[in-house]
Structure 1
């Protein structure tokens, strides 16, 4: 367990964006002072900072400035210079360590890590040359997706292969960087679970079902639509992975599930993630608070679903519809973010799943 750190300490957050903003706001509520290192002067995370530092999370000099002024440091994603961060900080200053980054920064190493734990993953193969693509297709099959081994390159660098004709298009990609080929599932059910680890204590949060469109989160649902056996397997997988990781704080795991309820581990990521925003309104405890408690050496509360709910992220295209619902839906729980967050806010709707879906669909804008 991390050493006990009292309110009033200075927390450093590496990385900007909405999750850094949420984490910073929660830290301030817990009595911490907040320093945020983010790449742009206009980053939304600076709205939650007592002290902004402009710099890249991969810049050793910027990380050194952060380390000089903070008692505890955390990172909000895997896109950080782990080697520099480890060299510049003490174990007390960086309770999460950097071991998780070795798993989460590289898609191939992440697959190997999961294989070593006997996790169920989709068929995959490492692809370095155009010849590797043909061999990989023989083992993975069609459809398949090529993703850069380096996660920071994002969805735009991926390529979906549906037939032998698509293989030729992959040759150009491989001229620049290595890839991982993975079997592709069409419209699987997706789940995520947040896991808090503090010393030997592992606290698995209630699983969340997520709905995506074009890689954009559209809805998060609690309790997840899954039978007891699926929920138990998600919890078991989370506990196994948590025990292997040398880590303190909250990390997340995402899953695919097929129509016949075969569950696959999709990915692992450090820190609280956007889909975890549903936990605060449905359980009364946020993933951000649990993360900070683990880092500060504070005890972790038990987390249970208090009321079922659905959370809809609100984007700029939803602004007019959101304002309409805000004016007429007193029971809907709205939250809005400062400019630059990517999303303009979120709304949580509580109650029986069928009735909630009916109410959301009746808006003629939002759909579940």
Structure 2
């Protein structure tokens, strides 16, 4: 059972960026002191923390420094050295454990984990040598995408294969590392769901419909389209996965859905994610608070949707348009991040997706390009 930890504890966070920055903000609201370990001394999370440690998530010496001062530790960088972290911490310090990392750090092991649970996933195959690609294509088919087994390597190391001629280009990638070949869907509907787990308590938060462009999140929408059956199936899958993960805290699951309403589990990730930011303004509860409550042994509330809305992450080229809308849209909820952040901020527009789309189109800058399915 997760031990109850009082306010005043020191929360250690592995990893920086927007996610760690937001976690620091919420930790302070709950009465925790914070220490952040991030690789870049200019990281915004380091600036916000009570104590800053500069170092890599895979550096045992840096993790040891964090363990010396933190009451409880969480990782916002899934590329953390799991073995070192487990060795350097006590069970009380690391209530999440590291078992989830064996699933989320390795694409092949993630597929095996989901396969073992009878989850519906896209066809895949492990690829180590150039000859493996031809064999894998025979079972997976075209189009397919070649991804490094190790996550976090970067989208530049991925390759989309649409025809036999693409297989020859793929052979060069295998000189660097092993890969997974996975079937590719063109323009699927995408979803994400955040789950909070503490001992036997599992809370599935409202399903979010996500919109991506060039692998970057463009919008998070609630409620998600797709109909009751789809949403209920996502919640069912989330509970099954939660029951089979030895983990405390918040984690997320992403999904693909085809035009024929076939649902596939896309991936699992630990900790709060950017797509869940829409839940605070639309439910009143943040994924970061749920994560901390689980880690601290505090009870987890049920989270329900209060009002519909769309959240857009704001990037550098959105600055001028965002500042214009800030002055003329009193009902749009803006949040801006400190300088040097990967994003400049975010904006939430309340209302149904169709009305939000019209409002965004009228700005001549922002757009909501999403696949809508029947509710």
Correspondence 1:192 to 2:189: no
Question: Secondary structure, in 3 states, of the residue corresponding to 1:251?
Answer: strand
* Residues 142-164 of structure 1 deviation map (CA, whole Å, 9 limit, x = unaligned): 00000000002021100000100
For residues 1-368 of structure 1, the aligned pairs below 5 Å read: 1-368=1-368
Cα offset for 1:355? 1.6
* Residues 131-176 of structure 1 deviation map (CA, whole Å, 9 limit, x = unaligned): 0000000000000000000002021100000100000001110111
Distance 1:54 1:124 in 2: 38
Q: Which runs of 5+ in 2 are unaligned?
A: 369-375
Cα offset for 1:23? 0.6
Question: Secondary structure, in 3 states, of the residue corresponding to 1:285?
Answer: coil
Structure 1 consecutive aligned stretches of length 4 or more whose deviation exceeds 6 Å? none
Instruction: Verify the 8 A CA contact 2:16 2:77 in the aligned structure 1.
Output: no
Note the aligned Cα RMSD (angstroms).
Answer: 0.6
What is the number of equivalent residue pairs in this alignment?
A: 368
Instruction: Verify the 8 A CA contact 1:195 1:202 in the aligned structure 2.
Output: yes
Distance 1:47 1:216 in 2: 25
Question: Secondary structure, in 3 states, of the residue corresponding to 2:172?
Answer: helix
Distance 2:192 2:142 in 1: 26
* Residues 283-314 of structure 1 deviation map (CA, whole Å, 9 limit, x = unaligned): 00000000000000001111000000000100
Cα offset for 1:77? 3.0
Cα offset for 1:335? 0.2
* Residues 170-190 of structure 1 deviation map (CA, whole Å, 9 limit, x = unaligned): 111011110000000001110
Question: Secondary structure, in 3 states, of the residue corresponding to 1:153?
Answer: coil
Q: Which runs of 5+ in 1 are unaligned?
A: none
* Residues 16-48 of structure 1 deviation map (CA, whole Å, 9 limit, x = unaligned): 111010111110111100000000100111132
Cα offset for 1:225? 1.1
* Residues 67-119 of structure 1 deviation map (CA, whole Å, 9 limit, x = unaligned): 00010000013110000000000000000000000000000000000000000
Cα offset for 1:227? 0.3
